[in-house]
Amino acid sequence: MSPTLTRRDFLRGTAAVGAGLAAGFNFPAISRAQGGKEPIKVGVLHSLSGTMAISEVSLRDVVLMAVDEINAKGGVLGRKIQPVVVDPASNWDLFAEKAKQLLLQEKVAVVFGCWTSVSRKSVLPVFENNNGLLFYPVQYEGEECSRNVFYTGATPNQQLIPGAEYLMSKEGGGYKKFYLLGTDYVFPRTANKILRAFLKAKGVPADSIAEEYTPFHHQDYQTIVGKIKRFSAGGGAAVLSTINGDSNVPFYKEFANQGLRAEDVPIMAFSVAEDELRGMDTAALVGHLAAWNYYQSVSTPQNKKFVQAFKAYAKKNNLPGGDKRVTDDPMEAAYFGVYIWKQAVEKAGSPGVDAVRQATYGQEFLAPGGKIKMHENNHHAYKPVLIGEILKDGQFKVVWRTKGLVEPEPWSEYTSPDKGCDWVNHKGTYQKA
């Protein structure tokens, strides 16, 4: 035998070692696969950078917390859940690209994600063409009914209509004139279309409704508040606000400084939640109202546990804000979405999309805000509606809540009375007879 080490010998040697190493590393994975215990992959599609990061990062956090909780209790069907987090960076095209990556490359069983309607619209074809499954956690304008999406946030009739109804009720103050004010994009435009139709149906004359929009990041609300002041002269007027994000502070400040008070002219907001109130000077907002399906202050035992768990989770994982973090409506919807999916997988006995979809219909869960139930056929959730009053510490006090759960109506009965959404007896959106 030659004492010199030839190149072939060397290669052979390293190959053997490499194979041995690879085998060694792969060994546990192989054994897991043989026992049927490989993890189930789920996608998390929330913007972690860009303009929407300020809201969406909290949703990623709460989804990962739910996954952690489930894994700590043994996972689903004896398998762990393995989250795959991607960052679509508030870029609508990137949302579609990342969704494709999650479905085709990572082969995830389900995706939890999106916030803005435009991002959801952008991923919709991806999920529909590849038969994926998306859980969407934010209240939205409705008028959508996709086979591949479960909507855990509110439909218009679970937020907008009760908000207006409350203001019109005797207890809410019996308001008769409404100023619809929003940021100029799809949600406020559609929301106000529905609100206007609703108010008209309730007999509010057209000259008692005003409608106005401002650009994104609008700062100067002098003229609009002046108009509201004249509009509200004589009393009985309220503002229904779908103003988005950073325009809220200048608006509420100007409102207070021009001498309008929440007791006389309340603002009912549909886009201001606890997470947005972080970092706001709340003095000018106190006493105004919001309509949601959940507040951090809801006093159920499971909510106390949820809030504590989230603060502890944020602290443990060194998330910015630590235990000063708050929970809000979209976060709760994102959180129970994970559990609904888990229960559906257990009922179906596999994470396959079609089986899970069938199993999701009618699924119930004791969410932090109270019991919720997925609809039997329209992919949305039965939810309670709560009217909250803004307090000084940026929290809400619940002043009114619906008796039971409100049935979701993706197509508003006021703007599209002839349309319905049903994936069991029909093929999605259908014409009512």
Partner 1 sequence: MRALVASFALAVCAVVPAAHAAPPPDLARPLADLGREDAAARETAVKALGARNDPKLLPLFEALRAGSVYVWSRPGAAPQVVIGGEKSTAGDRDVMALAAAYGAEPLGVQAPVAELREVPVDRALRLVIKPFIDALSSRGELLDPDPAIRRAAATKLGQRGDLRTAAALREALVTEADRWTRATIEEAIAIIELGRGDAAARAAAATRLGALHSANALPALRAARDVPTAAAAVRRLERWQLFGTTIETLFQGLSLASILLLMALGLAIIFGLMGVINMAHGELMALGAYATYTMQNWFAGHLAERWFDYYFLAALPFAFLVAAAVGLLLERGVIRFLYGRPLETLLLTWGVSLIIQQGLRQWFGAANVDVRAPRYLSGGVPIMAGVQLPYNRLFIIGLAAVSVAVMYALLFRTTVGVKIRAVMQNRQISSCLGIRARRVDAGTFALGAGLAGLAGCALTQIGNVGPELGQNYIVDSFMVVVTGGVGKLAGTIAAALGIGGLDKAIEPGLGAVYGRVLILVLVILFLQRRPSGLFALKGRNADA
Closest separation between CB of residue 218 and partner 1, Å?
6
22: left (phi over 0), alpha (psi -120 to 50) or beta: alpha
- Are residues 239 and 266 in contact, defined by beta-carbon separation less than 8 angstroms? yes
Closest separation between CB of residue 246 and partner 1, Å?
5
- The tokens for 366 are 């004791």
**Judged by CB under 8 A, which of 63, 114, 224, 269 binds partner 1?**
224
Residue 222 interacts with partner 1 (CB under 8 A): yes or no: yes
**Judged by CB under 8 A, which of 14, 23, 30, 171 binds partner 1?**
171
Closest separation between CB of residue 397 and partner 1, Å?
8
Residue 397 interacts with partner 1 (CB under 8 A): yes or no: yes
| 80-88, 127-135, 279-287, 301-309 -> range binding partner 1 (CB under 8 A) | 279-287
Please give the size of the binding site for partner 1, defined by CB under 8 A.
Answer: 47
The single residue listed with the structure tokens 């009965």 is 413
Q: Is 431 exposed, middle or buried (0-12, 13-18, 19+ CB in 10 A)?
A: exposed
- Are residues 367 and 410 in contact, defined by beta-carbon separation less than 8 angstroms? no
**Judged by CB under 8 A, which of 227, 371, 419, 426 binds partner 1?**
227
| 80-88, 110-118, 217-225, 329-337 -> range binding partner 1 (CB under 8 A) | 217-225
Residues 357-376 that bind partner 1 (CB under 8 A): none
174: left (phi over 0), alpha (psi -120 to 50) or beta: left
Closest separation between CB of residue 241 and partner 1, Å?
14
Residue 229 interacts with partner 1 (CB under 8 A): yes or no: yes
Cα–Cα nearest to 136, from 292, 354, 337, 329: 337
Cα–Cα nearest to 330, from 92, 105, 112: 112
Q: Which ranges of 140-217 would DSSP assign to H, the alpha helix?
A: 160-168, 186-201
Q: Which ranges of 101-207 would DSSP assign to H, the alpha helix?
A: 117-129, 160-168, 186-201
Distance CA 31, CA 18 (A): 20
Residues 186-205 that bind partner 1 (CB under 8 A): none
Residue 165 interacts with partner 1 (CB under 8 A): yes or no: no
Give the helix/strand (H/E) hosting 267: strand 267-269
**Judged by CB under 8 A, which of 32, 39, 41, 53 binds partner 1?**
53
| 146-154, 221-229, 286-294, 419-427 -> range binding partner 1 (CB under 8 A) | 221-229
**Judged by CB under 8 A, which of 18, 20, 205, 279 binds partner 1?**
279
Residue 315 interacts with partner 1 (CB under 8 A): yes or no: no
**Judged by CB under 8 A, which of 139, 214, 271, 327 binds partner 1?**
214
- Are residues 140 and 146 in contact, defined by beta-carbon separation less than 8 angstroms? no
**Side-chain half-sphere exposure of 129, counting CA atoms within 13 A:** 9
Residue 400 interacts with partner 1 (CB under 8 A): yes or no: yes
Residue 323 interacts with partner 1 (CB under 8 A): yes or no: no
Q: What residues have CB less than 8 Å from 222, skipping those under 6 apart?
A: 254, 258
Residue 282 interacts with partner 1 (CB under 8 A): yes or no: yes
**Judged by CB under 8 A, which of 121, 189, 253, 373 binds partner 1?**
253
Residues at the site binding partner 1, with contacts judged by CB under 8 A: 53-54, 170-171, 184, 212-215, 217-220, 222-224, 226-227, 229-230, 233-236, 246, 249-250, 253-254, 256-259, 261, 263-264, 278-284, 320-321, 397, 400
